[in-house]
Structure formats: C-alpha cells, structure tokens
Chains A and B, each alone.
Chain A
Amino acid sequence: MKMRFFFRVQRLLPEFFLLGLIGCLFQCSHALAETLLPASPSTGRFQERLSFRDLQMEKNLDMGPDSADRTLQVGVAPDKLVENASLRLLFRLHSPFFQKSRNTLAVEWNGVRLGKIAASPGESGETLAITFPVPAYLVNTRNILRLRVVRDPKNPCALFGSAPFVTVLRQSSIDLQGTRIGVPPRLSNLPFPFLYPDAAGLRRIPFVLTTTASESLEAAGIIASWLGVRAPYLPFHFPVTVSAPLLKTSFPPGHLILVALGRDLPPNWLPSPVKGPLLMIRPNPEDPFSRILVISGRTPADLRMAALYLSENQFSGTGNSFSPATVLPPPRRLPDDAPRWQAAGNTLRFGWLETPESLRVHGTGSVRVHFSLPPDLFTWNHKWIRARVRFRIRTEKRENRSKLDIFLNDRYQESLALPSSGTGILERTVEVPLSVSDLTPFANRLDFNFNFRNSYPSVISCSMDQNPRLEGTILPDSSLDLRPFSRYTILPDLKLFPNGGYPFTRYADLSGTGVVLPDSPGPSDIGMFLHMMAMFGAQTGLAASRVRVATPKDIESVRTRNLILLGTYRSNPLLLRLTRALPHVSNANLERLKDENLLMEILRWNNPPPAHFGPSDLVQEFRKARNPLGVILETVSPYAPRRVALSVIGVSQKGLFAMDSVLFDPRHFSGIFGDVTVVEPDGLSSFFLPASSFASGSTNPLEQTRFWFASHPVGIVASVIVLASVTGFSLRTLLGARAKNSPDVLEEKERHPE
C-alpha cells in the first residue's frame, strides 16, 4: 500500500517539484557548510567564505625553513566586486625544543605582504588564529596567496633549524564581501557567468528541467559534460529541479541552466513560438543579478540538438539568443582517443602539458606538471616509468647545496644535487625512474621542487635563497617514456571508473555508453547523472555528444553499450537483476548491512586474491558500515558481450543524493576499486567478488597469460601442484629406469673383454 502510494506521489508533478526543492535545499545546505555564507540574491550583495580546502589544499601544511613556498590560487568570478576581504589563518606552532631561531611565515597576496606568523614559545600544539585584512584593491579575478618562510636573519644557520615550525590548517579561510554585477547576457561569453573556471570553491550550477524525456536528459548531460571540459579538476554540484510548467518559484537563485521545451517556457520570454533548437541567455526572474542559460526547442530532440550545438561551437558578437538551423553531430570518435589522454607507446613531452612560464621558478619554488594517463594503461609488472628530465638552472656560486626534489603525486621519487653554475646558466639532463606504484590510473602530478641552498653542513640549516635571480626551469622537451606500456585491462574494475571514467570514456564522445535512469527520475538521479557526465567531460576533454539515456523499459536502445544504471531498487527494477550477486538484493537487505549477521553471507563470497581486503579486513570494514548510503557495483553486462554494467544504487533518493558528494570527491577515488563499493557518509569500502570478467585492449599473449596467473594465484598453486606431481612421477619412472638399465650392469663382458 505504501509502495503504491509512493509511486502515485512520484507521478504528481507539483509534489515532485516540492521533493526536488527539498532535495536542492538539502544539497545546498550540505554544500554550503564550508564554502558559502547565506547569500542575499536580490540585494546585489554577496558574502563568501573560501576555505583552503576549497582552494585545493588537500592536507594541512607543515612549513619549515627548508620548505618551498606554497601558493594558492584564489579566483573570484568577474561578476563579483569585492569590497571587503580578509584572510583568517588557522595554524599550530611546533614544539620550541628545536626552534632556536626566530623564523617567520610570511603571508603575501598578489606579491604584497599581508603579515607574518612568528614562532613563539609557549603556544605549541594549540590551534591559533590570526586574521589579516586584504585590501579590496588587491583582489582581482585571479589572485595568488603565497605562504613563504623567512629565516631568522640573525641566525640563519641554526642547528636542527630545518625542522618545520608551523602547521597551517586547511580550515583556514578567506572571507569575501562585496557587490554583484549584472553581467550582460552574451552567448559569446559562455560558459561565463555560469562557470568561471578560475573561481575558487565548489562549482554549484543548478539545472532546471521541464521534462525528463531521454533526449532532454541527454541534452542536460551534454551541457554538464561541456562544463566539465571547460573546468577540469574541479568538483561540481548540480542541484536539479524538475518542474513543468515553470513557475516563478521554479528558479533557484543564482546562475542556472534551464532545459525546457518551448511550450513550457513562460510566454513573455520569447517574441515568437520556438520552432527549432534554441539557445538563449536571459535574467533570472528571481535574481536580477543572475542569468539563465536556456536550452530549448520544440521537441525533446531539439533540446539535444541545441545542447550539441552549444558544446561544439563558439559564439561571437553580443547576441543573447541563437537558433541553429542545422546541427550536424560531430564525427564518431575512435576507441581510446580522448584528447586529454596521453598516448601509450609514445613519449610524453612536458611542453605539451604545461606552458613554458609554468615550468619556471624564480628562487626556491615548485614546478608542477599535470598529466593524464589512459586509465587502461597496462603498468602491471613494471616497476618504473622513466622520465627524462632536462632542466636549466641559474645559480650563484654559494648555492652549491642546492637540490631538485622530485615528487610524483606527492610521493618522493628522487633528489638531485644541483651544481653551481657560477654566474651563468647550466643545463642538465637526467634519467629519473618514477615508481609505477605511485601513479594513479588517470590524473597524475609531477612536482619539481627547486631548493636553492648555500653551503653549510647538513645538520645546520641555512636559508634557501629567495633571490629572484636564481632560476630553475624544467625544459619543455623533458619527457615521460610511455613506450614500454600497452593498453590492456581486465574489466570490470571499479578503480578505473573514478580515475578516468573507464570503460565508459573509452569512446570519448560516449558513443559506447548508455545510461539507464528510472522511468521517473528524481532530482538525485539526474544530479548524479549530470555530475558523472561533467566528470567524464573533464577526463576526456570532450563533451558527451553521443551519450544515450534510456529507461528500464526501453533498455533495448542501449543494450549493446556499456551501461550505467542509476536509482534505487524501487525506482529502477533493472538494478535488482544486475545486483543479484550481492547479499542485499533489496532495500531492506541493503539497510541490513548494519547487521553483523550479514557478514557471514559476505564471507561466503570467498574473496579471491588479489584482494586488498582479506576476510578479516572485510569484517572490520563492514562493522564500520553503520549507515550505508548506497552501493556501486560493476559487472559484466548481461545484455551484450564484452560490455560492463555499472549499477549505482542508493538506499533511497536521499542516500543517492548524499552519495553524489562522496563518490566524486577526488580524495575518495583511491577507495573505489574491485567489483563493489559500499558508500558511507565518511568514506568507502571496496571488495572483490568472484565475478566473471573480460579483457579490454591488447598486449602480447604471453604477458596476458602471466597477468591472468598473477590475478589468479590459485591458478599458480593448482598448476604447480599438478606439474610437481607429474614431475615426481615422470622422474621416478625415468630415473628408476636409468637405475635399472644402467650400462654397468649389462652383460658387457663380450664387448669389453679384459
């Protein structure tokens, strides 16, 4: 009875709208917890708090005399005029035992010193706070916040003085207040103001849909992936509202994207009825300082066309609307040709990855090189990936203890002594082996820390020279050698999903991907879908122009594709079929994950190696899983051979909604692997199942066999036992025959008479 009531309620649009709004509010409050103070949309004022975490500072920062400068980029959208700004630094001072010198931490904003923190005895361990006002005239759209250690000028070479003396906490924040500017609605400025890639913090872009037809959802997906292409490496949130007809209350404050059929648009928005695909920017009726990007058309297919046109074209001029006459879909992509994936079997030059300016530092500092490897890069049985690093330095004679420290994804790789160049420039080429185990399947970062130091014994720390005449450059023809690696992987493998979106992104235009949403998708389903598309766009560098969305009823249209199924057990019946291997095949059972009795069922899965979690770890992990939000499971698709099906199941719409923020947080990516991941509010637990799999890509057959055995050590054990037994029997026969028929016991007297 309750169920029937639930479905009936879901079909009622106003109530659905209400649900969406509640969902949105929930999501907003969740997202704003760290980044936003309540905004006042209609007054034209804004107030924003950006924590260092929003500024991509992943962990607390220990700073000592040997530390390189740490810079944080603080972008402010051009439609915000900052009038008041302040920096609130939270920090802890270290034990003064080794701190005999008076080093200070200087804080600079766009090269102007805001203040400093000095090491002082008696305050070690406590969390301290200091607020530096930032002059409003210094706040631009792109700002650099630099933390720099300044050594005690009286005692630059203190014994053990290189130990960190302060930890800057990632809860530190920047408060911005000011007025909003109503920017002109120009298509040529897109994606601004809906997305300003340099702006700090979470990208929160509300979507409003008037229909959940497949093409409409595809259009929204294409737009989301296009936004992802424009703002890589940044987290998104897509609060979704489904509302038809559009009411005044349908529009949340702020810039938003509206995907609506022409008939659903308010009549006063357009001078004439919509006849085909339409792109338009217009003010948000609820917030005069905000804009709405309207994707419209007469039919749902027109919506898709309009989105496609937007993702493929640049606009010029000052127009705020455009009706493309014909929209030709882009040519179909080949497998594994995503623009942002580096080609395997080749060398990867740093000059292709970063601008020459970003490869250079003046004084002590870091050069960062970001590179994206194909997610299916077959690194198995390789210990090193060779980097040929060419660098140029300009040092002075006294910096002969200078060094270049190399890190891969924050893990130390090598330290090279930098020779003194005298007064000139010196170039060097070195081969650096980077540990393959420190690579991630997709996004990677190399850090080259140039530390310019003078010549004192190592126990005595001396100032790293911040002399701007000192210079370190990683030359653009430095490269990573990807030649030994092929493209091969075993699917399903959840590890590849967050790290590269594989195998869904194997065709960068997602022509091999189908998404199955519930018949009546909720805001959480759609939000999750959009976030996924944005992530795929960021990963491939290409909009999802050929993605297909289907409902469980018309699964036939996407059956030959790799499938992503979203929803709850109630809303998407296909999920039940695909998750039969799980011990929880229903909502009730999913909730029973809290119950320890279920552990016994899970243990019967008999985790085969290689398992990151053995049975005892599994027990521990499930004991922690008190409040699962949902489960993601990747299996071989039952609809087509050599395809996978990714099931994203929420305990409820609420659970699905909350999964969105956990699942796409890069900090959690390493926790997603194997065949199944249980998503909890604070983290993830992943497990391997004895499920069927298939190989994707190609490598030589011998290597494939070796890899199979490595993945199935039970195969090694069984083979060895059989082979050893066969050897035992054969040798017994062979040697036994030799012992019996040895020539010396043959009657040889006639042949060898004495």
Chain B
Amino acid sequence: MKWTAKASRIVFLVAILLLLFFLATIPSPDWQTQLWLGTFLFFAALLLKTFLDGKRWVILTLISLSFFSTLRYAWWRTTETLGMGNPKVHWYEFPFIFLLFGAELYSWIILALGYLQTAYPRSRKADPLPPETEKWPTVDILIPTYNEPLSVVRTTVLAALNIDWPPEKKKIYLLDDGNREEFAAFAAQSGVSYIARPEHRHAKAGNVNFALARSDGKYVALFDCDHVPTRSFLQTTVGILEKSPRVAFVQTPHHFYSPDPYERNLNVFRKLPNEGELFYGVIQDGNDLWNASTFCGSCTVLRRKALNEIRGFAVDTVTEDAHTSIRLHRLGWESAYLNLPQAAGLATPSLSAHIRQRIRWARGMIQIFRIENPLWARGLTLAQKLCYLNGMLFFLSSLPRIIFLTAPLAYLYFGVRIFDADAYSIASYALPTIALSLLANAAINGRHRHSFWNQVYETTLAPYIFLPTLLAMIRPGLGTFNVTAKEGRIEKEFYDRRIAKPFIVLWVLNLGGIVSGILRYTGGFGEIPTILLTLAWTVHNLLIIGTTLAVGWERAQRRFRPRIAVNYPVRLSGRGGQFLYGETEDMSDDGVRIRLLKSASLRTGEEVRLEIPFLDRIHEFPAEVVGMDEFSIRLNFYPLTLEEEKNRVLLLYGRADAWVRLGLSEKGDSILKSLWEVALFALIGQARALKGILWSSGPKLSAPPEPVEKAS
C-alpha cells in the first residue's frame, strides 16, 4: 500500500474517531433517553453478532460500538458524577467516589488496550523450509531445570530427541542448575549434552545464558523442563526465522495437557476454555499484528544473533521472558507468534501453586514496569508500547477488582454515596456499556474465554497479588524467583481454607451487604432505586466470589501424570500367541486403556506385548494386564528400555497435531449461558465453602516436594 493511501486511511479513521468522540460527549437530556440510546445500540450490535458472527469487520464494528459506549460512559462519569462543586456531596464521600472512579478508569484503559491488542489476530501460518535438509540451519535445544524430578525432565529430553530435524544439525542441552548426578547420568545415557554451572546466579535466565556461551547453533529452542515438544516443533517454527531475518524469535502457545486448578476443581476440563487460552489464543496472535508478541520463556525458537545483541536473556527481573522480548523489540528486532500448539506441559497442580506462579508473574511484570517502562523505552513503536503496557497493567488489576467487589457495600452499610448521580442515570449509562463490552468480547474471544470468567480469574488473584505488586512498584529489586510447581498429587479432596480466607471474608461482607440492603429497603433508609442497584451489583459480586470459593475445593488427583486421550490402532499379543485388535482410548506414561474390537478374556497380571503402528514403524511395548471387561482392557507398561520409552513419548506427546485446538472450549461463548454457569458454580462454591469451613480436613499432598525458593 502506498504511503499516501495509507496516510489518507489513517486520517480518515482519526476523523471517524474524532466524530465518535464528539458524539460520545453529547449529554443525554434524561436517563430514559440514554437508556433508549444505549439499548438501541446494544440491539444493533446483537443483530450483527447473531447474523454475521465471525466476520472480522463485524467484530471490528462491535469493538467500535463498545468503544463508543464506553467512551460515552467514561465522559459522563468524569464530567457529571464525581461530585466536584456539588455542595450536596459530603467530604467523606469523595474518597469512595474517587476510588471507584479510579477502578473504572483502570478498566476503561484495559478495555481499550485490549481492543487494540485483539482487533485483528494475525493467524500466522508456518513458513516452509527448503526441501533440501542440508540447507536447514543448526539448532540448539536448551532444557533448563532446577529442582524438578527426573521423571518430569526425561520426557522432555526424549521428546526433544524425537524432534524431526537432521541429527547433525540439532544439539540438545540439559541445563541442570541442581547439579544432580542422576541427571548427568541420564544425559549421558540418552546422548544429550549436560551443562551444570558452578554458580547459580539469576535463576533460569542465568542458567540459559551460561549455556548460550557454550553452544553455537544458529537458533536456540528453549523448553521448560515439563514442556514436551512435538516432533514437528522445529519444522513449523524455524521456517519463519529463515524466511524473515529480522525476526528474533518465534513463540508458540503453551498448551497444558493436564487440567489447571479451575478445570479440575470445577470439573470443566475441555468444557470451558483453559485459563491461559485467552492469552495464547487471542492476545498473542493479536500482538503479532503489532509486532509485539512476547517471548514466554518456553516453546520458543530464538535467533542467536539477536540474543547476542542484547547479551543474552535479561536477568534483572523474575519474568526474564517478557523483559527479554522488550529488549529485542527495542533494538528493532521483530517477533513472530505461531498459534499452533507444538508443545505441551503440565498445568499447576493446585490453586495455591497457581496463585504462587501468578504472584511471580505479577511481580516480574511490575518490575519491568519500573525498570524498563515500555512507555518511555526508546525503540518501541507506539503499538508495541501499548501492547506491553496492557500486559503489565493487567497485573495491577488487584486493587480495582477489590474495589469493584466492595464498592456497593459503602452505600449498603453506611449510606455513603459512591457516585454523584441517581441510580436510574447510572443504570442507563452503565448497563448498555457493560452489555456492549460483553458482546464485543464474546465476539472477539469466542471459544477462548467465556464471559464473566475473567472476573473469576482476577478475583482469585486479587487478594494475593496486591501486596507483591505494590512492593514491586515501590522496590522493584525486592523478592526472589520461585519455581512453579508442576507435578503433585492430592490424595484426598479438601477445602483449601488457607487460600480461600480472603474470599470468605469478601463473601461474608457481601452477604452482610445484602442483608443491610434488604433492611434499608424495608425500612425506607435511602432511595429505593439506589438500594436496588447496589443490591444487584452485590448479587453479581456474590456470584463471582462464590465461583472463586468453589475453586478452593481441591479435588483428589491420584496420578502424577494424567491420561491423555489418543487413538491408535493396536495389536495385543498374549503368551498363548493369540492376537487381539483394538484402539487406544487413552494413554499415560504408566499405562494405556484399549477398546477391543472383539470381546476377549485376559487374566489380570498376564503379560502382553503391545504393538502400535505409527509413522513408518511398529512400536512394541511389554505390558501387564491390570484390568479388563468385555471390550476394554487396561495395561500397565513394564519397565521400558530407553528406546521404548522414547517411542512411548513420541506416541503420547510427539504427534504434530497432538494438541491442536484442545485448549478451546467445545462450544462458543454465550453470555447468558456463561452467567448461568457462573451462578451455578457460585451456589456450589458457597456450599463448598460452608462445608469446607465446617468439616473439611487439611490438605493431603504427596511428593513431589513443594518447590523451594531460589535466591535471585
């Protein structure tokens, strides 16, 4: 596109934005008119979404409508409802008014930046490599580890060995910061390089930088020790780097084959989108349009030259990945995001582990905000600055979230005004704005994040990340790097009272608010519309808090490694020489379940040989029958040789399409259905909370040990 045409389009868009702003600032003569206006816009948007859903121009139109509505609301809130100069507003009401306004201001900024990020997901395709493999570049695969068990790491190493890439152009490095002998032995046995450094400074970033100096491949692939790559990982990613020499790295999604705490504790695995799906499914893809996709620390291929230019991975913060990508972008390097899961890992095993992980992320992002604030960082484009800013501001959501969860209580308990406006006006401005933003987000996020769930996720973190982010804001150097727990077993379900404490407090406060509101209503203490509005708001808060409470109920998880649904044709040969044919239903590192084509009877404990054809070979595994019924049989693998184990990893984790679209929900987003789900979970959650508080015993966790903190 010629620059003049582009410039004229931009001028045209700016003119439209100015017109929208102009229209947004026109006041409504009364609340009925505003309600009429907002409702009309909402129904126009609803019609568009219902009949033309999925079209990008429709999504962009919905974004524009929501943007307009939010702008109008924000203008009204700022100019009409802060009580400035109104003698009827008492001095003690101003802190409440401004706290809520601040929280809303934050949410408007996040909403606008979110629209910018997700306006047009790039949906990049893999670029092909030259047909001659001798022209393929050399790649170093780095797998850093610190205290994770070998059982976790060996799968990743074996999967790395399985990656389809010319062996002479692929070097695998096991970077053991724990200096463990069994890791060195395993590396020697499997034929990968083992690097252990004498000093353990700067955690993961230091570990990888140490290895960078001792390797020389053109590209560096980096995997967390639990992220198991597919065999096609390099073939799908390196082509982009080869084709575009200014691209510093190609990031792929982090897929989790085990349920995260929300999915497990609410029993919604594969029914609701994974919590990380929004980021990897929509935001990163949208960032890619602005050349702002971020390096996420794993499942990435990076260009060594680019890393050398920034002197390796950033070591100043506990989120070295985001920090490294800022530095790369600042030097003009580009980034690429391939929205194709090419590796899978383990989700955090418990809610407490999940919260701990997010505390680190939050702290790290705020550290970057302080140390290398993208807004002032030279070399970044405006879009990059804004995308990074949104990534960081997200972790400042704790205070606004707590304010939203408690704001109506100020009125219900004490009759303190939090708006200088009547309830009808508030409702007429706010409700259409909320409805339009829900609609626009449902169109954007679709199967990647259902409505209302972001509030649940934010509420879960809010009480816990508030102090760390505040401290990081004040003293960015404080704090240590804590390794995320990746594997763990819960012998018996329990209610995590410790982690649920703040939510129980919020729950009780909001319940009290409801009671207080009813008393106000019946006693005539206050304006009825205001009471009803704040009561509705409190009920909404109770739904969100209730669902958060439900996540605190840790369900039993007796396997270290989850079963993964895979379908291979199999042949079983028993001692008697009979052959049984069937298909695998699911498989884990320990065993497999098979659905037989014909009924058969095998004895428990009987030894069988399992044959699975895949690619150009038949993979054989010795196994023992551990259970069966007429058409189904369950086998446990006998101890496997390294080669057999490698094959099992290939079958289980290595298929190129193993994880494609698995993080999405089965169905798209429906706002009302989502509200109903949240309401249902809220009821369950409150029952669970009561049961948990009154009867549940403490946690019964088993090995592996809790992750320990490591000095940064």
Which residues of A are interface residues toward B (Cβ below 8 A)? 381, 383-384, 413-415, 432-433, 609-612, 614, 706, 709-711, 713, 716-717, 719-721, 723-739, 741-746, 748-749, 752-754
1/0 per residue, CB under 8 A from A, across B634-672: the answer is 000000000000000000000000000000000000000
Contacts A433-B86, A609-B32 given; does A728 touch B64 at CB 8 Å: yes
Beta-carbon contact of A730 and B9 below 8 Å = yes
CB distance from B555 to the nearest CB of A (A): 42
| Cβ contacts under 8 Å, B245 to chain A | 748-749, 752-754
Q: Quick check: which of B35-43, B155-163, B388-396 contacts chain A, the rest being far away?
A: B35-43
Q: What residues on B are CB-neighbors of A744 within 8 Å?
A: 244, 246-247, 291, 334, 336
Q: Mark B613-650, 1 if CB is under 8 A from A, else 0.
A: 00000000000000000000000000000000000000
Residue of B nearest to A739 (CB): B122
Complex: how many Å from CA A609 to CA B32? 9
Least distance between B672 CB and chain A CB atoms (Å): 24
Contacts of A709 in B (CB 8 A): 23, 26
With a CB–CB cut-off of 8 A, which chain A residues contact B25? 706
Q: Are B41 and A720 in contact, with the CB atoms below 8 A?
A: yes
Across the A-B interface, the 7 shortest Cβ-Cβ residue pairs: A728-B61, A724-B64, A735-B120, A728-B60, A610-B29, A414-B87, A744-B244
Mark B52-73 against chain A: 1 for CB-CB distance below 8 A, else 0.
0000111111111100100000
- Interface stretch, picked from B13-21, B397-405, B563-571, is B13-21
Residue-by-residue, is B245-266 near A (CB-CB < 8 Å gives 1, otherwise 0)? 1110000000000000000000
Taking a contact as CB atoms under 8 Å apart, the answer to whether A710 and B41 are in contact is no
Contacts known (A741-B1, A744-B336); A731 close to B246, Cβ less than 8 A: no
Q: Inside 8 A of B17's CB, which chain A residues have their CB? A: 727
Contact with A along B545-573 (1 / 0, CB 8 A): 00000000000000000000000000000
Query: What is the CA–CA distance of A612 and B32 in the complex, to the nearest angstrom?
Result: 9
Q: Please name the residue on chain A nearest to B38 by beta carbon.
A: A717
Return chain B residues, CB-CB under 8 Å to A749: 245
How many B residues touch A, CB cutoff 8 Å? 57
Contact between A752 and B246, CB atoms less than 8 A apart? yes
Give the chain A neighbours of B216 by CB distance below 8 A. none
Q: For the complex, is B243 an interface residue (Cβ under 8 Å from A)? A: yes
Asked if B85 is an interface residue, CB under 8 A from chain A, the answer is: yes
* Pair B87/A433 contact, Cβ less than 8 Å: yes
Which of A716, A728, A733, A736 lies in contact with B26, CB distance below 8 A? Answer: A716
Interface 1/0s, chain B 112-127, versus A by CB < 8 A?
0000000110110001
Asked if B78 is at the interface of the complex by the 8 Å CB criterion, the answer is no
22 sampled A-B residue pairs with Cβ under 8 A: A383-B85, A610-B29, A706-B26, A709-B23, A710-B27, A713-B34, A723-B20, A724-B61, A725-B61, A727-B16, A727-B17, A731-B13, A731-B60, A731-B64, A731-B119, A732-B56, A732-B60, A734-B10, A738-B120, A739-B120, A745-B244, A752-B245
Complex Cα spacing A564 to B493, Å: 85
Q: Are B29 and A720 in contact (CB under 8 A)?
A: no
CA distance A744 to B122 in the complex (A): 13
Please, which residues of chain A bring their CB within 8 A of the CB of B37? 713, 716-717
Expressed in whole angstroms, the minimum distance between the Cβ of A458 and any Cβ of chain B is 14
Cβ–Cβ < 8 Å partners of A710 in chain B: 26-29
Contacts A723-B20, A745-B243, A754-B245 known; A614 to B119 CB distance under 8 Å?
no
Q: In whole angstroms, what is the CA distance A735 to B16 when docked?
A: 16
Chain B residue at smallest Cβ distance from A708 = B26
Assess whether B491 is interfacial by the CB under 8 Å rule: no
Contacts A433-B85, A717-B41, A733-B9: A728 and B57 contacting too (C-beta < 8 A)? yes
Give 19 new A-B contacts, CB below 8 A, not counting A720-B41, A734-B6, A738-B289: A383-B80, A383-B85, A614-B32, A706-B25, A709-B23, A720-B23, A723-B64, A723-B68, A725-B61, A727-B13, A727-B17, A728-B61, A728-B63, A730-B13, A739-B120, A742-B122, A744-B244, A744-B247, A752-B246
B519 within 8 A of A: no
B64 touches A742 (CB 8 A): no
- Minimal Cβ-Cβ distance residue in A for B25: A706
For B29, what are the chain A residues with a Cβ–Cβ distance below 8 Å? 609-610, 710-711
Q: Report the minimal beta-carbon distance from A534 to chain B, rounded to whole angstroms.
A: 33
By a CB distance below 8 angstroms, the chain B residues around A716 are 23, 26, 37
Interchain CB contact (< 8 A) of A723 among B16, B56, B120, B218:
B16
Which residues of A have CB within 8 Å of B19? 719, 723
Interface flag for B30 (CB, 8 Å): yes
Interface residue B33 (Cβ < 8 Å from any Cβ of A): yes
Check if B44 is an interface residue, CB within 8 A of chain A: yes
Contacts of B305 in A (CB 8 A): 754
On chain A, the residues within 8 Å of B695 by CB distance are none
User: How far is A719 from B127 in the complex, measured between Cα atoms in Å?
Assistant: 43
Which residues does chain A contribute within 8 Å of B122, judged by CB atoms? 739, 742
Main secondary structure of the interface of A (DSSP, over half): helix
- Tell me whether A713 and B28 are in contact (CB under 8 A): yes
Q: Determine if B9 and A734 form an interchain contact, defined as CB atoms under 8 angstroms apart.
A: yes
Contact A413 B28 (CB under 8 A): no
**Least CB distance, B221 to chain A, in whole angstroms:** 18
CB distance from A611 to the nearest CB of B (A): 8
Measured CA separation A384–B86 after assembly (Å): 9
Question: Could you say which of B27, B28, B85 contacts A384, with CB atoms under 8 Å apart?
Answer: B85
Nearest neighbor of B34 in chain A, beta-carbon distance: A713
- B12: CB under 8 A from chain A? yes
Complex CA distance for A95 and B17, rounded to whole angstroms: 62
Nearest residue (CB) in A for B13 is A730
Chain A residues near B16: list those with CB within 8 A: 723, 726-727, 730
**Centre residue among B62, B64, B336 by max chain A CB count within 10 A:** B64
CA distance A738 to B292 in the complex (A): 14
Asked whether B119 lies within 8 Å of A735 as measured between CB atoms, the reply is yes
State whether B246 touches A748 (Cβ < 8 A). Answer: yes
Specify which of B17, B40, B291 lies most central, judged by the most chain A CB atoms within 10 Å of its CB. Answer: B40
Q: How far is the CB of B462 from chain A (nearest CB, A)?
A: 33
By the criterion CB–CB under 8 Å, are B85 and A724 in contact?
A: no
Closest to A610 in B: B29
Flag if A720 contacts B13 (CB, 8 Å). Answer: no
Minimum CB–CB distance from B379 to chain A (whole Å) comes to 16
A706 neighbours in B (Cβ, 8 Å): 22, 25-26
Considering residues B23, B80, B86, which has the most beta carbons from chain A within 10 angstroms of its beta carbon? Answer: B23
Inter-chain contact B87/A413, CB cutoff 8 Å? yes
Smallest CB-CB separation from A724: which chain B residue? B64
Chain B residues near A719: list those with CB within 8 A: 19, 23
Q: How far is the CA of A187 from the CA of B391 in the complex (A)?
A: 88
Q: In the assembled complex, which residues on chain A have CB atoms less than 8 Å from the CB atom of B119?
A: 731, 735
- Chain A residue numbers with a CB within 8 Å of B27 are 381, 710
Residue on A with the closest CB to B29?
A: A610
Complex CA gap A737/B289 in Å reads 10
Q: In the bound complex, how far is the Cα of B305 from the Cα of A709, in angstroms?
A: 58
Residue of A with least CB distance to B45? A724
Q: A727-B61, A736-B120 are in contact. Are A717 and B40 (CB under 8 A)?
A: yes
Residue pair B33, A610 in contact (C-beta under 8 Å): yes
Question: What is the distance, in angstroms, from A725's C-beta to the closest C-beta of chain B?
Answer: 5
Query: How far apart are the CA atoms of A731 and B656 in the complex, in Å?
Result: 34
Given the complex, which residues of A lie within 8 Å of B1, measured CB to CB?
737, 741
Query: A739 contacts which chain B residues (CB < 8 A)?
Result: 120, 122-123, 289
**Chain A residues whose CB sits within 8 angstroms of the CB of B87 once the complex forms:** 413-415, 432-433
- Compute how far the CA of A709 lies from the CA of B336 in the bound complex, rounded to whole angstroms: 45
Contact partner of A610 (CB less than 8 A), chosen from B30, B44, B85, B291, is: B30
From A432, A721, A735, contact of B289 by CB (8 A): A735
Closest to B80 in A: A383
A734 touches B13 (CB 8 A): yes
B23 touches A721 (CB 8 A): no
Residues of B within 8 A of A738 (CB): 120, 289
Instruction: Check A731–B120 contact: CB distance below 8 A.
Output: yes
Question: What distance in Å separates the Cβ of B371 from its nearest Cβ neighbour in chain A?
Answer: 28
Instruction: Closest B residue to A710 by CB, please name it.
Output: B26
CB neighbours of A737 from chain B (8 A)? 1, 6
> Closest CB-CB distance, A684 to chain B, in whole Å?
20
Q: Which residues of B contact A754 (CB under 8 A)?
A: 218, 245, 305
